Structure 1
């Protein structure tokens, strides 16, 4: 049974993921956590290859954006966003310096931050109030980039 704190983390992830859906009509939701997004956006595709946007649940991810998932991910053409309910203390297990073979994602949304993956590696785009990019960097074995456009989580 999940705790109230965990449910609050999941709700924060789903609220932020819903923001990503605003301008997209054809969305595919992978198994697990993304399925909980379905009721709030009112759209889901049965055919993943025609999706404009896809969400998958991420177990771990490399700095280049290659994500390990708990289930098999079908062939997807559009951008893929990873979702994770991992806690801040588990950031080092979520973002690993050496990734495993998997699915390439463009963005990772977790309860305390939103990360993008670029040619230079991991970029923090949004961060939970009370945390800094330096706090995140202390948890990671890989460089973390943060720009002047860093926002508070959920204020996109």
Structure 2
């Protein structure tokens, strides 16, 4: 590939992962975690793959950046017809992004199926243990607030609307 073609391809890949063209010359030490992940995705796309393996793609990212990366992957999946294989310990990510889930224990598949079905009604005790290990936020306190009541605490203002 000639230099001009290579530079055009780099610009195209950066556009695909929603990074500006000047990122082609940036040192990786100057990139945020989310930007580094986008560069990794661009590198994977450079080979024009049918399958992209996403190994813990969101594990080092804050939740908002992780959401952006997952939305980007979903967009690329739809636009390019990619298959994505996610390897993750984050069941929330697995359920949100996956059509199918495979649960492994000690290198062996213990359960597989439709993502929402596996998460809602796991057949295997190990899968249930994994689901139960995810912290759940107690939201019962929300019931104490009626429609459009505002609770104030020092400098924190919280406006809640019940459904």
Which structure is richer in relative contact order (CA contacts within 8 A, separation 6 or more)?
Answer: 1
TM-score by length of 1: 0.28
The structure that is helix-richer by fraction is 2
